[in-house]
Chain A
Amino acid sequence: MEQFEVRPLLPLHIGGLDLSFTNASLWMCIVTAVCAIFLTMAASPRKLVPTRMQSITELSYMFVSDMIRSAAGTEGLKFFPFVFTLFMFVLFSNVIGLFPLIHPFTVTSHIIVTFALAFFVFLMVIVVGLARHGLHFFSLFAPKVPAVMLLVLVPIEVVSFLSRPISLAVRLFANMLAGHTMLYVFGTFVIGLATAGGALSVISIMPFLAIVAVVALEFLIAFLQAYVFAILTCIYLNDALNLHGHH
């Protein structure tokens, strides 16, 4: 589909690598810029009684910090900048991708983008865990159970640990891709029925109303997926910080 095509804007080939500046890169820059400008502008009044825009920023700050505190404990707050950046980037790219008039490119509907984010989270959990607990970190794979059970549980734990980046990446990517495909399919219904003429043109209002409902659902999903991405990051960080214990 046209909306998912990656087109090079500034071709750039170095060695055998294709490092072109594509529309995906452009939209990632736009998302980052919109996010940074919005948060800076909204937080700049610094009033004791916040304006509406300021309270949006303060609410999102409190939201993320509460999320980290409940999932990873007070120690997890060291990673607040990381989790907040991740949450805001995913949220803004999901939401900006839903505005129809500006022909946006949803960067999170590409698995390479979400996989890069997820793999970074995965590597960070390993690095934080090893730095904090040394080789004791690997006791994460051995729950406190009778020794016989370990034969079964250790492989399961290892596989579930290794599948974390894949599940994080695929969840976000598949949700975004499926949502936009669904809007596209309902859109072709409207065009097809409206151009068919007669009574069929009249009932083309029905898929149109369905699109309105689906767009509302998509806004919910855009927020929910950003939240799920951030909360799972916090839970994985909790594993690295506290091993088995829940702060």
Chain B
Amino acid sequence: MDLASAKMIGAGLASIALIGAGVGIGIIFGNYLAGALRNPGAAAGQFTNLLVGFALCEFTGLLGVVMAFIILFT
């Protein structure tokens, strides 16, 4: 296998990291909604925590994307 095609496959493999980010973001928002429906009064106070959790979770997936960019464009 030549280097160019190996790079393409590697970049594709690196993008698999986004599966985890997708699952994680789904869990965060799903659990927030479930909690908010049970106790709507407390929901607004946890909105910041929701977004922080979302941001931290998304970052792990984005590391994979950045890895793919590095593989493709160097």
Q: Is the CB of B69 within 8 A of A177?
A: yes
Q: State whether the Cβ of A23 lies closer than 8 Å to any Cβ in chain B.
A: no
Q: Is the CB of B62 within 8 A of A175?
A: yes
A-facing residues in B7-57 (Cβ within 8 Å) = 48, 51-52, 54-56
> With contacts A171-B58, A177-B69 known, is A228 near B51, CB below 8 A?
yes
Q: Is the CB of B52 within 8 A of A174?
A: no
Contact residues in B for A167 (Cβ distance below 8 Å): 56, 59
Closest to B18 in A: A178
Q: Is the CB of A227 within 8 A of B51?
A: yes
* Interface of chain A, main secondary structure: helix
Q: How far is the CB of B2 from chain A (nearest CB, A)?
A: 24
Cα distance, A130 to B8, chains bound together (Å): 47
Q: Is the CB of A70 within 8 A of B48?
A: yes
Cα distance, A73 to B9, chains bound together (Å): 49
Q: How many A-B residue pairs have CB under 8 A?
A: 33
Contact residues in A for B55 (Cβ distance below 8 Å): 171, 228, 232
Cα distance, A228 to B66, chains bound together (Å): 19
Q: How far is the CB of A177 from chain B (nearest CB, A)?
A: 7
Q: State whether the Cβ of A31 lies closer than 8 Å to any Cβ in chain B.
A: no
Q: Is the CB of B48 within 8 A of A231?
A: yes
Q: How far is the CB of A171 from chain B (nearest CB, A)?
A: 5
Q: Is the CB of B48 within 8 A of A170?
A: no
Contact residues in B for A95 (Cβ distance below 8 Å): none
B-facing residues in A225-243 (Cβ within 8 Å) = 227-228, 231-232, 235
Interface string of A41-63 (1 = CB under 8 A from B): 00000000000000000000000
Closest to A177 in B: B69
Q: Is the CB of A235 within 8 A of B65?
A: no
The contact sample of 15 A-B pairs, CB cut-off 8 A, is: A70-B48, A71-B48, A167-B56, A170-B62, A170-B66, A171-B59, A171-B62, A174-B65, A175-B58, A175-B62, A177-B69, A228-B51, A228-B52, A228-B55, A231-B48
